[in-house]
Chains A and B, each alone.
Chain A
């Protein structure tokens, strides 16, 4: 019996979410007194997973699998899960992991719980705590199938080091890519920018910024902090920013360590999507804006004055703390 974690990599390097998923998998394995295995695709340094407690990594080095393919990846993970008698399979909640998890669930006839925020309670059955109603509530969900799949919310469990002697196996698969399946034609990735999903810090702008011509304020601040940029729904609806930056209940979810909202009123639909962020800062010239009730820190002030100053001060701070 084992716990198997899918550790996602990009250009051969593991993402932070992969290490978090590995940490979580180790946490369950300790509870159940079983081993932690990992499966990765074309990872350059699968040994790194030993830092988070993985005892054995199956790394598939195969050009055919260099582009993510949900169908084929799910099949490979299922193949390893069956061969290793994995009872629990852990994934992050990256776009790719969310894409393949339901396919994997059908392969393994496994119950799947997404957006899980804590280790399971295994005293009486197998119960996980997950967010529901877009972060407005939590639900305790029992997974009742023999095989179980867990999607761990980003930044919810964190990284837990557990230095382990890891064995890496060069994995050979019997899975062949289907020609009739979905084919990736092109990938358009913004290489210079941090994505909202991977970001530790997200800087988000709302209608209070008045127009797209003012977004350099948000971008300068984001660059200073190595943060991703985001926006409220009306901002993307008006075309000031791309749809991909829209966060909230009907946009992208944000679960960063720090979320700074500038000129955003704090409507319920906006807050729902960003509430999983740990620390929230609001900058708004209206002291009555609802966002102040949801935030940890706030400045009542004009964004056009506060943001340049904040960026300036942060640059100094970064220079002194480098």
Chain B
């Protein structure tokens, strides 16, 4: 089985979010970048397939040279080789088109992406990619088994779960649940050393044109002070929630 894991390079969850250039650009100053958490679950699941069922695992990111430490980390975790499409990701559709080219060239059976990136929260790249290459697609995937050319998956729906089957090739939008948090792989020294020798192929972009354009950023208005209610005076809280906040 040939697996491709799509890795998006995102600010760590604790990052302070600020903007520069007249609020048109994300301020990367002092920001630590990581593998998108949803992709981390997918990557670990891919390593499980490799170890238990035999599979090759490639990782791909669309991004400039600055994303290389992130993709090297994926190699250190155990991926066999990495591909970087050398262009600035500006729009989900554009990223999906770049990934579609890589996916077609590599003829993968399974493509694992994340439910969403935690930076722009687009939630669109995996589905677009699937449609562009004519593969099946399962989103918000929390469990995935492959037997021969058949996949069985569980996806989260609002208020429950759904069990699905699909033929390969398949693209998933994965998330926590694909593997246990405690099973997430962290690179060890040996992995890091080996990652240095693994191929990281830089390829030229192919997509033309954008469908959306991110313009100005802004931050939510600062919150007013919290209204504290005495623990002995619960009636007051109920009154506030009913009459002032109109929430109950």
Q: Which residues from B are CB-within-8-Å of A110?
A: 211
The answer to whether A198 touches B229 (Cβ under 8 A) is no
B62 to A: closest C-beta gap in Å: 16
Q: Which residues from B are CB-within-8-Å of A137?
A: 17, 19, 217-220
The answer to whether B212 touches A144 (Cβ under 8 A) is yes
Residue A176 lies at the interface, judged by CB distance under 8 Å to chain B:
no
The answer to whether B212 touches A94 (Cβ under 8 A) is no
Residue A208 lies at the interface, judged by CB distance under 8 Å to chain B:
no
Query: CA separation between A2 and B61, bound complex, in Å?
Result: 38
Residue A269 lies at the interface, judged by CB distance under 8 Å to chain B:
yes
Please judge, given known A-B contacts A98-B139, A138-B218, A142-B213, whether A111 and B13 are in contact too, CB under 8 Å. no
The answer to whether A296 touches B212 (Cβ under 8 A) is no
Q: Which residues from A are CB-within-8-Å of B235?
A: 313
Q: Which residues from B are CB-within-8-Å of A282?
A: 226
Interface size on A, residues (CB 8 A): 92
Query: CA separation between A113 and B187, bound complex, in Å?
Result: 35
Q: Which residues from A are CB-within-8-Å of B238?
A: 310, 313-314, 317
0/1 interface trace, chain B 112-148, chain A, CB 8 Å (1 if under):
0000001111111111101110001111101000000
Q: Which residues from B are CB-within-8-Å of A79?
A: none
Residue A83 lies at the interface, judged by CB distance under 8 Å to chain B:
no
Q: Which residues from A are CB-within-8-Å of B237?
A: 281, 297, 299, 310
Query: CA separation between A269 and B226, bound complex, in Å?
Result: 20
Query: CA separation between A44 and B136, bound complex, in Å?
Result: 30
The answer to whether A140 touches B216 (Cβ under 8 A) is yes
Residue B189 lies at the interface, judged by CB distance under 8 Å to chain A:
no
* Contact residues of A: prevailing secondary structure: mixed
Query: CA separation between A317 and B236, bound complex, in Å?
Result: 12
**Residues of chain A from 122 to 145 with CB closer than 8 A to chain B in the complex:** 127, 131-145
Residue A216 lies at the interface, judged by CB distance under 8 Å to chain B:
no
A253 to B: closest C-beta gap in Å: 8
Instruction: Among A133, A143, A193, A251, find the residue whose CB has the most chain B CB atoms closer than 10 A.
Output: A133
0/1 interface trace, chain B 206-223, chain A, CB 8 Å (1 if under):
000011111111111001
Residue A197 lies at the interface, judged by CB distance under 8 Å to chain B:
yes
B164 to A: closest C-beta gap in Å: 5
Q: Which residues from B are CB-within-8-Å of A145?
A: 211-212
Residue B65 lies at the interface, judged by CB distance under 8 Å to chain A:
no
The answer to whether B17 touches A201 (Cβ under 8 A) is no
The answer to whether A112 touches B245 (Cβ under 8 A) is no
Please judge, given known A-B contacts A112-B92, A114-B124, A299-B237, whether A184 and B163 are in contact too, CB under 8 Å. yes
Query: CA separation between A32 and B167, bound complex, in Å?
Result: 43
**Residues of chain A from 46 to 79 with CB closer than 8 A to chain B in the complex:** 70-71
Residue A96 lies at the interface, judged by CB distance under 8 Å to chain B:
yes
B240 to A: closest C-beta gap in Å: 6
The answer to whether B227 touches A297 (Cβ under 8 A) is yes
Which residue of B127, B139, B212, B228 is within 8 Å of A111 (Cβ)? B212
The answer to whether A141 touches B131 (Cβ under 8 A) is no
The answer to whether A281 touches B241 (Cβ under 8 A) is yes
Nearest CB to that of A310 among chain B residues? B234
Q: Which residues from A are CB-within-8-Å of B14?
A: 268-269
The answer to whether A112 touches B137 (Cβ under 8 A) is no
Residue B165 lies at the interface, judged by CB distance under 8 Å to chain A:
yes
Residue B108 lies at the interface, judged by CB distance under 8 Å to chain A:
no
Residue B70 lies at the interface, judged by CB distance under 8 Å to chain A:
no
The answer to whether A143 touches B159 (Cβ under 8 A) is no
Residue A265 lies at the interface, judged by CB distance under 8 Å to chain B:
no
Residue B158 lies at the interface, judged by CB distance under 8 Å to chain A:
yes
Please judge, given known A-B contacts A113-B212, A182-B138, A297-B237, whether A95 and B245 are in contact too, CB under 8 Å. no
The answer to whether B181 touches A237 (Cβ under 8 A) is yes
Residue A195 lies at the interface, judged by CB distance under 8 Å to chain B:
yes
Which residue of A96, A133, A279, A297 is within 8 Å of B157 (Cβ)? A96
- Chain B interface (Cβ < 8 Å from any Cβ of A): 11, 13-14, 17, 19, 26, 37-38, 91-93, 96, 118-128, 130-132, 136-140, 142, 152, 155-167, 176-177, 181-182, 210-220, 223-224, 226-231, 234-235, 237-238, 240-242, 245, 247-248
Given A106-B127, A188-B161, A189-B157: 15 more A-B contacts, CB < 8 Å? A103-B127, A133-B121, A144-B210, A144-B212, A187-B157, A198-B159, A246-B176, A268-B13, A279-B245, A279-B247, A297-B227, A297-B240, A297-B245, A298-B229, A301-B231
- Chain A interface (Cβ < 8 Å from any Cβ of B): 70-71, 94-96, 98-103, 105-107, 109-115, 127, 131-145, 180-190, 193-198, 201, 225, 237, 243-244, 246, 249-251, 257-258, 268-269, 272, 275, 278-279, 281-282, 292-302, 305-306, 309-310, 313-314, 317, 321
Question: Can you report 16 residue pairs joining A to B where beta carbons are below 8 Å apart?
Answer: A99-B137, A114-B123, A141-B214, A182-B165, A183-B165, A188-B161, A193-B159, A196-B159, A197-B158, A246-B176, A249-B118, A250-B37, A296-B226, A297-B245, A299-B228, A306-B234
